[in-house]
Amino acid sequence: MSKRSMCIYCSSSLTGTEPREHVIPRSLSARFAGNLTIGCVCRDCNAFFGRELEPVFVEDTVLGPLRYEKGVKRDTRRAPRPDPQRVVLRYKGMRVELRPSPGGTDFVPWLPTQVGFPLRGEMDCTFRYFTLDALDAAISDPAVDVTGRLHVVGTGPGFERDAAKALSARGITRAGDTNYHWILPRPAQASGPISFDVQFTSMLDSVVKRCMAKIAFNYLAYVAMERLGQTDWLQRPDFDTVREYVRYDGVTRVPPISTDVGIHVKHRESVEPQGHLAAVLWERQTQDVVATVRLFSVFAWQVMLARGFKGIAWPLQSAHFWDLQQWEVSELRAVPKGLLPW
């Protein structure tokens, strides 16, 4: 039997000419020396991941800007603009988007044109802000007073005209009571860095969870190949839930996935560095196979790869770290504190 006779996701036969599958997507790990790859994913599954899952995962979520902030990618002028529905920033209640800077060195805040309406019954003139394509929602909201004073905000020339046109089309013409404010790229009164409220709800959606489960299962395959020289035991039905969820988005069976796992990595003279982490553990008492993935030392997910998995005759316990300072991947001596089963 071949060392990697079947694809770990769809169980199709492998030919030995398949492209290497990166444990952590290449767009997040290409710069690291000693990057981890596996050869047990078929060409069709590899193409599916690169076409359907990873672009959303690394471009449309907050991971996109983080790639440039941490130096994994350079020149933001070529960067896709983060999906404003998935990367939500707010400044004093106003929605803020991120756009590549003109110099291509960073992402900068951009304030789409919005209209702030006062809320009924609020004594401190609290405003709720709506983008121009959401003004109908403001009109139909009984808590919003569309007849009161307006606060229009935006970036760049012409936003006042666009706002007035959108308001007029809905019968709202109160130019005399409207305060137009060009608030970004930087409020005039702000002397230091601007603090934004960041909403990470998109990091919990199905595509993100499937990608995290894929990284976890990829890492398990890497460890199995390193320790056993083969991955055929991953074909056991114990792993059907995670493989079907990743490849086919199985809605009836979803592996348990939790977020914000407390992980402490001590590496290189007890310094806690920035980077990615992948770890896997077979817990002897429960016999669960649990993996943890942490990206940019910011987001952490724990994935139950198999419950009550019996018959392991070798110490399944491993962790690797992608160091953002040294730009290399190294195996940790012990599974980090915090990688515990449910």
Q: What is the largest CA-CA distance in the chain?
A: 80
Question: Could you give the CA distance from residue 258 to residue 254 in angstroms, rounded to a whole number?
Answer: 12
- Residues 74-127 have pLDDT tens digits of 898 888 888 877 887 888 888 888 888 888 888 888 888 999 998 987 766 788
290: left (phi over 0), alpha (psi -120 to 50) or beta: beta
Q: How far apart are CA 131 and CA 310, in angstroms?
A: 55
Whether the Cβ atoms of residue 287 and residue 337 lie closer than 8 Å to each other: no
- In sequence order, the β-bridge partners of residue 150 are 178
Question: Which of 277, 287, 282 shows the shortest CA–CA distance to 316?
Answer: 282
CB 303 within 8 A of CB 292: yes
Mean pLDDT of 23-39: 96
Query: Rounded to two decimals, what is the model's pTM?
Result: 0.82
Q: Indicate whether 291 pLDDT > 60.
A: yes
Instruction: Indicate the angle between helix axes 240-248 and 206-228, nearest 10 degrees.
Output: 130
Mean pLDDT, to the nearest integer, of 12-17? 92
Taking only Cα atoms into account, the Rg of the chain, rounded to an integer number of angstroms, comes to: 24
Tell me the per-residue pLDDT of 124-147, one tens digit each, with 9 for 90 and over.
678 899 999 999 999 999 999 988
Q: What's the rounded Cα separation, in Å, for the pair 340 and 224?
A: 20
Q: Are strands 178-182 and 150-154 parallel, antiparallel or unpaired?
A: parallel
Going along the chain, which residue ranges are E strands? 21-22, 37-38, 88-91, 94-100, 107-110, 114-118, 127-131, 150-154, 178-182, 197-199, 257-259, 275-283, 288-295, 299-306, 317-323, 328-331
Q: Report pLDDT for 80.
A: 83
User: To which H or E segment does residue 58 belong?
Assistant: helix 54-59
The tokens for 303 are 């994935």
